[in-house]
Structure 1
Amino acid sequence: MKYINLHKHYFKLFAFVFLAILFTNCNTKKFYKTNYAHSFIHVGSLVVDDALVNSFLTPYRSHIQKDLSKILAYNPQNLDKNDGKWQNKMTNFYADAILETATPVYSKQTGNSIDFCLLNYGGIRSTIAKGNITTRTAFDIMPFENNAVVLKVSGKVVWDLSNFIVKNKVAHPLSGIEIFVDKNSSTITHIKINNILVEKTKEYYLVTNDYLSKGGDNMQFLLNATENHSLNFKLRNMFIDYFTKIDTLNPSVKPRIIFE
């Protein structure tokens, strides 16, 4: 009888220890790093060039420099995206070039036509100085790997994007579209695409970049597109093609946002 009671005693003790260990292990443990080790490595003029590495890289470097320095066209004036509040020659050229280059590509791929273009002001990363336009120019103004995307959007989305631009007062590059604004109330009165009034129930084809097509720059309204078609064509390469095709850059001065 004593053996049985002793057995029960050890069983209870074992169960208690087991549950205590289980409970302890179930708690979430937090670990904090308290010590940091670092060292400073100075890279300067005392670092000796590696002749072997340089000899290997030289032909590639020369080839890249030759390609980037290739003259494609001529620009008779300085172009800066900051010249103007709502639009300027730089933003006009930026959107016009993409619309003109993308239209035949999209038509060949789908049989449809592009109606207008919207790009983002922040995507223009450089000015275009007066003088020769080279391949490097395209890399300067568009250093990112963005691809052109065509979205099928409703007229309501066109109104949403137009209100967004006017409200935020940002000169986003536009082409193929005209936004008419009441100069007293700063409200949009009507919108035209290819000189035809936009109807909210109709659908339009918009070329933009993949960043904006995903709602970038707070343009979430573009997520309401009913179709999303990538041209697999980088904007940078589109600019290179555009520069190659023309002789002299002559950007449009036609306003896209008109106050009446």
Structure 2
Amino acid sequence: MIRGKIHIISACILLISILTACQHSGYKINNSQGSFIKTDSLVGSGRLIEAIISPYRDSLKLEMGKVIGKAEYELSGGFPEGLLSNFVTDLVPVECERNGFQKPDICIVNVKGLRIPISKGDITVENIYQLMPFENEIVYLTMSKDQVLELFDFMASVGGDGMSGASFGINGARAVDIRVQNKRLENRNYIIATSDYLADGGDHFEVFQTAIERKSTGLKVRDAIIKHIKELTASGDMISSKLDKRIYYAQ
């Protein structure tokens, strides 16, 4: 049965190759005929295929179902700040330091990239994969004072986003009363930890593309979240977060 499938597939590939070759050589098809073949009877599950896939599927299911922590209450996204984005941006600098990197001044994540909330109760590995389904890597960007100001103005213009290490108020479409590590902006360079997606200008963060320097950490955002939850659980802590007006609407 499998051998028969291979012959059919090979024949299709050969036909496509011939037709493609004809097109490149200048020939045109004047007439063609075709018919539909139901693939249900050809594909099937197959005992051999099932025997090969089953161990990997079962192992993956077991790993994804592992409980790695417990949330004290639901952590969801929001603007201008949210419990979920505060939790993630707070843990990224910690995990970067634990992996030998210097502590960044600021961490930025996009709320839209956090796909589901962390529900109250048990947290599984699968939950975090659903939360962060992308292979985003943490990168370090070096940015000037003016570039940081431009970054915060952009974030203010869209109503806030995920951030730690800094605070600012939103006045219209501008960032006001800016603080970085509890200090006013200084005429120096700042280190910002973010995802490679945002660093590439994703979600309209074009300002990141003007960074003075970019450094890869090799750390996945998702892996950092999983590791941090495991570490908190090992210390006997439940997963929690808080709103602290790191981004707020100025009066």
Q: Per the shorter chain, which TM-score range?
A: 0.7 to 0.9
What is the Cα-based RMSD across aligned positions, in Å?
A: 2.7
> Which 5+ residue runs of structure 2 have no aligned equivalent?
1-25
Q: Please, which moves more after superposition, 85-94 or 226-235? A: 85-94
Q: Show CA shifts across 1:112-155 (max 9, x none).
A: 33111011122111222222111112211111111100111111
What aligned pairs does 1:238-257 form with structure 2 within 5 A after superposition? 238-247=224-233, 248-257=238-247
Paired residue type of 1:173: G
- Corresponding residue to 1:54 among 50, 54, 59: 50
Are 2:76 and 1:73 equivalent residues in the alignment?
no
- Corresponding residue to 2:209 among 223, 226, 229: 223
Shift of 1:76: 2.3
Are 2:191 and 1:205 equivalent residues in the alignment?
yes
Shift of 1:92: 1.0
Q: 2:98 matched to which residue of 1?
A: 104
Q: Show CA shifts across 1:50-83 (max 9, x none).
A: 11111111111111111111111101222222xx
Secondary structure at the counterpart of residue 244 of structure 2: coil
Cα distance change of structure 1 residues 33 and 245 upon mapping to structure 2, 3 Å threshold = farther
Q: 2:161 matched to which residue of 1?
A: 172
Aligned length: 221
TM-score, normalised to structure 1's length? Answer: 0.76
Paired residue type of 2:191: Y
> Which 5+ residue runs of structure 1 have no aligned equivalent?
1-29
Secondary structure at the counterpart of residue 143 of structure 1: coil
Q: 1:126 matched to which residue of 2?
A: 116
Alpha carbons 2:153, 2:173 under 8 Å: kept: no
Are 2:83 and 1:89 equivalent residues in the alignment?
yes
Q: In 2, Cα distance between the equivalents of 1:96 and 1:218? A: 22
Cα distance change of structure 1 residues 159 and 33 upon mapping to structure 2, 3 Å threshold = farther
Secondary structure at the counterpart of residue 233 of structure 1: strand
Alpha carbons 2:76, 2:84 under 8 Å: kept: yes
Paired residue type of 1:208: T
Paired residue type of 1:129: S
TM-score, normalised to structure 2's length? Answer: 0.78
Shift of 1:85: 3.0
Secondary structure at the counterpart of residue 103 of structure 2: coil
